[in-house]
Structure 1
Amino acid sequence: MACLFRLAVAAVVGLEAIASPYCVARADGDSALRDAARAATRQATRYYAETVASHGGYVYFYNADDLSQRWGEGAATVDMAFVQPPGTPTVGDAYLEAFAAAGEVEFLDAARATGQCLIDGQLQSGGWAQVIHFTPARRMGAYRTRAGGRMNNSSLDDGQSQAALQFLMRLDKALEFDDAAVHEAVAYGLDALLAAQFANGGFPQVWTGPAPAQPVLPASYPDYDWRTERRVKDYWNYYTLNDGVAGTVAETLIVAHEIYGEGRHLAALRKLGDFLVLAQMPAPQPAWCQQYNYQMHPMWARKFEPPAIAGHESQDAMRALLTIASYTGDERYVKPIPAALEYFRTQCMLPNGKLARFYELQTNRPLYMDGEYRLAYDAESAPSHYGWQQTPRLESLGRACDAVARGESLPRSPRRRVTAADVQRIIAALDDDGRWVSTYDGEGLVGQPKFARGFRYLSSQVFATNLTKLARFVAGD
């Protein structure tokens, strides 16, 4: 808390208590710190669940002074809840972590309210859109359980439906499967997700109903001028790997199988692995693309996302394959990875040590867009809103590949142990109202809000991260 900051106290156990229930007195070891962590989780949860929440849901950021302004991907209102992480499901997962650690009903009640928000936002097509609207809006969803609009596009973009489903499944388990509304929403959503899977195992970015029948083909290079031909408006209906779809869908199917034990979820996971094997491009570029048409040619998505080898999505595809191989024990899903790693290591590294987001088909030249969204080979004029280059994860992927090939289990969510010093810092940052207030200093933020330096705000990601760390410390993780 502020008292610790004013005295510039080091974040270690053994502090002198001063005028705050969270300033931990000279330590009785971890037990005193755990008591303080429990108290901090309660106060932070009460503030966020009772004061910040609206309709049980959350957005990304709030004006810390009075909550009068809020933001998700752009300005938001009190009658909007964001599904896309780090929004409503992210906060809900933190409540469940606190409940699992402490067993106190107030954390479960907060999670249940978050779950009801997501139930209210579930679409008739079974998934979720980026935003849930609670008053009439131009893009209001065709909601399953209440009156709404006509938008019925369930989305896998940026983990939207995946995050909602994973949280609701964990909530269903925490409620011992006794809440009929939660259980029904999960069943409806999982049925819809499985129906949206194509015969080849791929998924679209968006679905409104079951996937249409399409041939099962391996990936191949276009036999037409991809620069100018075959752009389509509804690219979201085709096979997609963009924005982490493979990894987040794989994790969703694994959570479903772990909680419900149904063979169909495992079968869908294997089918997804089969698709990733099919989607690897042939030589000379044995990697993956963002988007494929029904002939399994790389295709255009948005105007700045050309048919190309995709550095970011290829790494996600490899990680997803390793996750699937580790969970199923099927070595077929490891086999595509060594050639892809060798290709990126030897042919794709940029002078600055990064990977380009795109590499031109067959020539392998790093590919960008200029300010007019024309294809270019120079990153200097590329629009700043997009990640054109990324830090590679090739070494960690290589180590994981070796481990899985040896039959070792792959940790799905590696996490650093929460230390006493971590907990002291988190408790010290909690103000008297139970808030973690952030101050903007020019850093990049999700949704790219235009904050002035010095602006004080609340962040759902900061709340969820801190609450989760406190809960894990309380639980002894």
Structure 2
Amino acid sequence: MKRLIAIPLTCALFAVQVGAGETERQQALATMQSMTRFFQSEIATQGGYLWQYSHDLTRREGEGLATESMIWVQPPGTPAVGMAYLDAWEATGDSLYLQGALAAAGALVWGQLASGGWDYRINFDPAASGRWYYRRDVEAGDTDIGERRDTSIFDDNVSQSALRLLMRVDAQLEQTDDEIHGAVQYALRSFLQAQYPNGAWPQRFVEFPDPDEPFVGDARYPETWSREHPQADYRDYYTFNDNAIADVIDVMLEAHRIYGDDSFRDAALRAGDFMIRAQMPEPQPAWAQQYNHNMEPAWARRFEPPSITGGESFGVLRALLDLHIETGEPRFLEPIRPAIAWARRSLLPDGRLARFYELHTNTPLYFVRDTYELTYSDADMPTHYAFKVGGLGRIEGVENALQRIEQEGRQVLLAERRQRFRGSLSAEDDEQVRTIAAAMDERGRFVEDGTMRPDERGQPRIEMQVIRCRTFVRNLQTLTRYVTLSSAP
């Protein structure tokens, strides 16, 4: 899967030292190289990555157990690592990082599904990979899906993060790599076709909705709803859960910036209009995690009831702010102040928000550990899910963004978001470089205390020393920021 191609040097922003501490800058560059060489030579599988590894690489996992032939698409897996490599390439011009990004992109191209997106994981084992139906199968003339899996996932930023990396690599290569460019165009067409006529996207898809399907207008409360999980299939619901639609909007706006095709911008605008229609009426002018096709809040998993969400409502607010900043359309700001007023009056005593608020009453909803009985008590909640989320800080973040738009104008914020790294360096940044360098061992590893999944379900996690992709990405981005800003005039 190694990809060796000509590199357009005009795409890289070569770093020259101007004014930051030269010792720390050289230390940052050396640390970046060492950690990247280890990750590419010892951790990567066909250019891709999981989430976490035992220090001796005998155990591997993504969101679930993994084998040596598997990589994970869901962040902080392959796309997250690939993006960190691209940032490092732009800051240094060192082809080590670009080749890492190309390898990650190649792994994603290999695992692209016939439906156009990606599953949570990719398995390179020949026997195991036969359980999926890939784009390359279709292009080879294989038109019988049989029992193979072809479900593209929008949940958890899976397909969105994969496509975002491929688009960015495609832009760096000036669209000269036919495999990568072809994968991008195929995925973008699929994302457009997967959009419902009302502007929403589902949590996942295999087939595309009828573009002429009539749809209900504004969100409404259901006449009744069961307090017990109905075991219904929710995968085609209009889904804000885990910021699915907001993340697709990000992809569409980025695609418009890169390729200039107005169909991508139009898709983002339609999704924004859906967000406006999906805002629930007073006294709860926020959003549900998911809606059925009658535009009513609906059950998803057994711990995700019909409700108003203090969590994903902020993903919607972020997307509406982004759409206004990108387009200047004032309609995207109109839902924000009522939603923020609802959030303020819904705060828990500790300044957080409940993930779920009961329809009509606005009473926080929770579940009982083990039985998953819906309850008003937070005394014995399951621990695998965030039933309480950030509140006051996120409210203030949205209010500050609104204030800046009003006082400084959206163009200022638009210019800021075009900058990958902003600000200036301080003594604290110098110390961060030294701390990261000291935490890396002689092999280029960041080994830390952690736990790994057991082989059998239901058993406790195993305490051991681990290597985390999340730590790698965070450290590489921190060092890249330092190098970038130390090069700024």
Q: Tell me the TM-score normalised to structure 1 length.
A: 0.87
Conserved? CA contact 2:228–2:374, under 8 Å: no
| Structure 1 residue 472 corresponds to structure 2 residue 481 | yes
1:283-333 Cα shifts (integer Å, max 9, x gaps): 111110001011101111011111000110111111111111111111100
Map of 1:58-69 to 2, 5 A cutoff? 58-64=49-55, 66-69=56-59
Q: Give the Å deviation of 1:450.
A: 5.6
2:7 maps to: none
2:437 maps to: 427
* Secondary structure at 2:404 match in 1: helix
Q: Tell me the TM-score normalised to structure 2 length.
A: 0.85
Q: Give the Å deviation of 1:107.
A: 1.3
Map of 1:21-420 to 2, 5 A cutoff? 30-64=21-55, 66-135=56-125, 136-137=127-128, 140-146=131-137, 150-212=148-210, 213-227=213-227, 231=230, 233-346=232-345, 348-371=346-369, 372-392=371-391, 393-406=394-407, 407-408=409-410, 409-410=412-413, 412=417, 419-420=429-430
1:6 maps to: none
* Secondary structure at 1:283 match in 2: coil
Q: Which whole-Å CA distance do the structure 2 matches of 1:86 and 1:39 have between them? A: 24
| Structure 1 residue 439 corresponds to structure 2 residue 438 | no
Seen in structure 2, the aligned counterparts of structure 1 residues 139 and 317 have a Cα distance that, compared at 3 Å, is farther
1:17 maps to: none
Give the counterpart letter for 1:47 in structure 2. F
Q: Give the Å deviation of 1:176.
A: 1.9
1:10-69 Cα shifts (integer Å, max 9, x gaps): xxxxxxxxxxxxxxxxxx9623322222222122111101111012111111111x2111
Seen in structure 2, the aligned counterparts of structure 1 residues 203 and 222 have a Cα distance that, compared at 3 Å, is same
1:418-467 Cα shifts (integer Å, max 9, x gaps): 6222111111212111111122399xxxxx996545x2111111111111
Q: Which whole-Å CA distance do the structure 2 matches of 1:417 and 1:248 have between them? A: 29
Deviates more, 1:325-334 or 1:424-433: 424-433
Q: Give the Å deviation of 1:228.
A: 5.5
Conserved? CA contact 2:290–2:298, under 8 Å: yes
Q: Which whole-Å CA distance do the structure 2 matches of 1:336 and 1:198 have between them? A: 21
Seen in structure 2, the aligned counterparts of structure 1 residues 450 and 462 have a Cα distance that, compared at 3 Å, is farther
Seen in structure 2, the aligned counterparts of structure 1 residues 232 and 297 have a Cα distance that, compared at 3 Å, is farther
Q: Which whole-Å CA distance do the structure 2 matches of 1:440 and 1:431 have between them? A: 17
Q: Which whole-Å CA distance do the structure 2 matches of 1:414 and 1:475 have between them? A: 7
Deviates more, 1:94-103 or 1:142-151: 142-151
1:4 maps to: none
Conserved? CA contact 1:440–1:451, under 8 Å: no
Q: Give the Å deviation of 1:214.
A: 3.8
Conserved? CA contact 1:56–1:113, under 8 Å: yes
Seen in structure 2, the aligned counterparts of structure 1 residues 139 and 376 have a Cα distance that, compared at 3 Å, is farther
* Secondary structure at 1:237 match in 2: coil
Seen in structure 2, the aligned counterparts of structure 1 residues 219 and 462 have a Cα distance that, compared at 3 Å, is same
Give the counterpart letter for 1:177 in structure 2. Q
* Secondary structure at 1:426 match in 2: helix
Q: Which whole-Å CA distance do the structure 1 matches of 2:459 and 2:72 have between them? A: 15
Q: Which whole-Å CA distance do the structure 1 matches of 2:266 and 2:22 have between them? A: 45
Conserved? CA contact 2:272–2:332, under 8 Å: yes
Q: Which whole-Å CA distance do the structure 2 matches of 1:314 and 1:417 have between them? A: 33
Q: Which whole-Å CA distance do the structure 1 matches of 2:434 and 2:296 have between them? A: 53
* Secondary structure at 2:65 match in 1: strand
Structure 1 gaps, min length 5: 1-27, 443-447
Q: Which whole-Å CA distance do the structure 2 matches of 1:224 and 1:436 have between them? A: 52
Q: Give the Å deviation of 1:474.
A: 1.7
* Secondary structure at 2:53 match in 1: strand
Seen in structure 2, the aligned counterparts of structure 1 residues 56 and 414 have a Cα distance that, compared at 3 Å, is closer
Q: Which whole-Å CA distance do the structure 2 matches of 1:385 and 1:95 have between them? A: 31
* Secondary structure at 2:167 match in 1: helix
Q: Which whole-Å CA distance do the structure 2 matches of 1:324 and 1:400 have between them? A: 13
Q: Which whole-Å CA distance do the structure 2 matches of 1:461 and 1:183 have between them? A: 28
Q: Which whole-Å CA distance do the structure 1 matches of 2:175 and 2:68 have between them? A: 31
Deviates more, 1:152-161 or 1:426-435: 426-435
Give the counterpart letter for 1:463 in structure 2. F
Conserved? CA contact 2:451–2:466, under 8 Å: no
Conserved? CA contact 2:363–2:376, under 8 Å: yes
Conserved? CA contact 1:133–1:141, under 8 Å: no
Give the counterpart letter for 1:243 in structure 2. D
What CA RMSD, in Å, does the superposition of the two structures yield over aligned residues? 2.3
Deviates more, 1:209-218 or 1:430-439: 209-218
Give the counterpart letter for 1:285 in structure 2. Q
1:459 maps to: 468
* Secondary structure at 1:458 match in 2: strand
Q: How many residues align?
A: 441
Q: Which whole-Å CA distance do the structure 2 matches of 1:449 and 1:421 have between them? A: 40
Conserved? CA contact 2:451–2:465, under 8 Å: no
Q: Which whole-Å CA distance do the structure 2 matches of 1:59 and 1:252 have between them? A: 22
Q: Which whole-Å CA distance do the structure 2 matches of 1:416 and 1:141 have between them? A: 45
Conserved? CA contact 2:27–2:434, under 8 Å: no
Q: Give the Å deviation of 1:75.
A: 1.5
Conserved? CA contact 2:50–2:61, under 8 Å: yes
Q: Give the Å deviation of 1:417.
A: 5.6
Seen in structure 2, the aligned counterparts of structure 1 residues 133 and 206 have a Cα distance that, compared at 3 Å, is same
Q: Give the Å deviation of 1:87.
A: 0.3
